[in-house]
Amino acid sequence: MTKVRRAWLIRHGKSESNAGLPTNGPGAAPLTELGWNQAARMAATFTASPDLIVSSPFLRARQTAEATVERFPEAPYEEWPVEEFTFLGELHGPQTTAEQRRPFSEAYWERNDPAYVNGGDGESFKALITRAHAFLERLAERPEDGLVAVFTHGLFMKAVIWSLFTGVTDPDVTAMRAFRRFNGSCDIPNCAVTELWRPSGPYGFRVVGGGTTHLAEESVTLETASPTALD
């Protein structure tokens, strides 16, 4: 079978921040024991080596990728800017918990300003969506087909999915409000996989509604599947 351009977006394993423990900024939270176990089980699900392993620079994503890198040492490994949306900026202070940060998070989304930056190393919503599209363009520009395993984060995954669904590249207040609704209605558990694939033709990347790459035989022939076909 001819290979196609494909990516697994993999949320990191359970981190200390997910467990409600205090952390020292958005990039420093390590995995919990459960998170390490999830990372090992994730590595075991690959039926063949990825053509490329990618991780966010944040610690919890890099740690989640370790088991897959160790299982497939021949696969190239790179860090890309697929880190989590750090909209709190300087308000994501040292030794704070997610619960302590919750009022600031809610205030950010209530403000509903796509260009607003909280200061420090904060990121605007516009910048997040720009980063999601840049990621998709980088995937599309790869000269090789095959599977790219991307160890990343929940909000970034949602930004990629939402960008593909809506086509929005320069979000206004209405788009930001719509993304907030999407975020609230879409759950991505730790070590969950969202599969993307890109066929030839005008459609660009597509979100696979239930990945099949983990199966010994695929249930869908992706090269010939039509986005307008009815089954």
Q: Which residue carries 């939402």 as its tokens?
A: 162
pLDDT per residue as tens digits for the range 163-179: 999 999 999 999 999 99
The whole-angstrom separation of Cα 151 and Cα 157 is 10
Task: Quote the domain boundaries for residue 31.
Answer: 18-42+58-132+155-181
- Number of structural domains found in the chain: 1
pLDDT per residue as tens digits for the range 6-29: 999 999 999 999 999 999 988 999
Determine phi and psi for 218, rounding to 5 degrees. -70, 145
pLDDT per residue as tens digits for the range 85-123: 999 988 887 889 999 999 999 999 999 999 999 877 789
State pTM to two decimals.
0.89
In a domain, 215, yes or no: no
The whole-angstrom separation of Cα 80 and Cα 139 is 11
pLDDT band at 221 (very low <50, low <70, confident <90, very high): very low
Residue 63 has pLDDT above 90, yes or no: yes
145: buried, middle or exposed (CB in 10 Å: 19+, 13-18, 0-12)?
A: middle
In a domain, 27, yes or no: yes
**Neighbouring-strand partners of residue 187:** none
In a domain, 177, yes or no: yes
